[in-house]
């Protein structure tokens, strides 16, 4: 079952459990996925691939992280709490991301292939690694690995 299908099937469970936060979060994410399906010309009933669904989930997670940061910096921890709960629910559905140790051999292989050996090549190398990993790794982790290799 795809991520999109799993999320759609989780909505009735959240309704039965009367879990308002989970229900609200799942509905917002499924709506974002439906919008993405329409943009990709799959129609409102079309299902996204796991890769596209993961991208939508990552976007939703990043939105929650940004909100948490803004509310915390603004001295409104009571508004950050619901965002933290939603973020935990979203992260439960996100596929596992690669660790820096798993990224390093891929980055080294791309480094050799591109002949990258200086900081000036960091952008090209970063682009090649991100393209190969296609959302399986966090961009910050890839950047850290690339920077350490080219240091």
Quick: pLDDT tens for 69-102. Answer: 999 999 999 999 999 999 999 999 988 888 888 8
State how far Cα 102 lies from the chain centre: 18
Q: Where are the alpha helices (DSSP H) in 40-76?
A: 50-73
Show me where the domains of the chain are located: 3-93, 100-150
The single-letter DSSP state of residue 99 is P
Q: What is the mean pLDDT of residues 119-126?
A: 84
Q: Kindly indicate the confidence band of residue 150, based on its pLDDT and cuts at 50, 70 and 90.
A: confident
| Ramachandran bin of 17, using left for φ above 0, alpha for ψ from -120 to 50, beta for the remaining angles | alpha
pTM of the model: 0.75
Spell out the residues 6+ positions from residue 123 whose beta carbon is closer than 8 angstroms to its own: none
Specify the CATH class of 100-150 in words: mainly alpha
Which residue has better confidence, 38 or 118? 38
Give the per-residue pLDDT at 25: 96
Q: Which fold has domain 3-93?
A: Hypothetical Protein Yqey; Chain: A; domain1 (1.10.1510)
Q: Do domains 3-93 and 100-150 have the same CATH topology?
A: no
CB 122 within 8 A of CB 146: yes
Q: Do the beta carbons of residue 142 and residue 127 sit within 8 Å?
A: no
DSSP 10-64: HHHHHHHTT-HHHHHHHHHHHHHHHHHHHHTTS-TT----HHHHHHHHHHHHHHH
| pLDDT tens digits for range 10-51 | 999 999 999 999 999 999 999 999 999 999 999 889 999 888
- Phi, psi for 137 (deg, rounded to 5): -135, 150
pLDDT for 65 beyond 80: yes
């Amino acid at each position: 079952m795809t991520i999109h299908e799993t999320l759609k099937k989780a909505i009735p469970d959240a309704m039965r459990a009367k879990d308002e936060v989970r229900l609200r979060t799942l509905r917002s994410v499924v709506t974002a996925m439906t919008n993405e399906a329409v943009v990709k010309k799959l129609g409102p009933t079309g299902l996204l691939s796991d890769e596209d669904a993961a991208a939508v989930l990552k976007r939703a997670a990043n939105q929650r992280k940004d909100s948490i940061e803004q509310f915390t910096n603004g001295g409104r921890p009571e508004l950050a709490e619901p965002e933290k709960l939603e973020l935990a629910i979203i992260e439960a559905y996100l596929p596992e991301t690669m660790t820096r140790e798993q990224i390093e051999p891929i980055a080294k292989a791309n480094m050799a292939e591109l002949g990258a050996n200086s900081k000036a090549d960091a952008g090209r190398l970063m682009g090649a690694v991100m393209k190969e990993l296609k959302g399986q790794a966090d961009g910050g982790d890839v950047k850290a690995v690339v920077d350490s290799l080219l240091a």
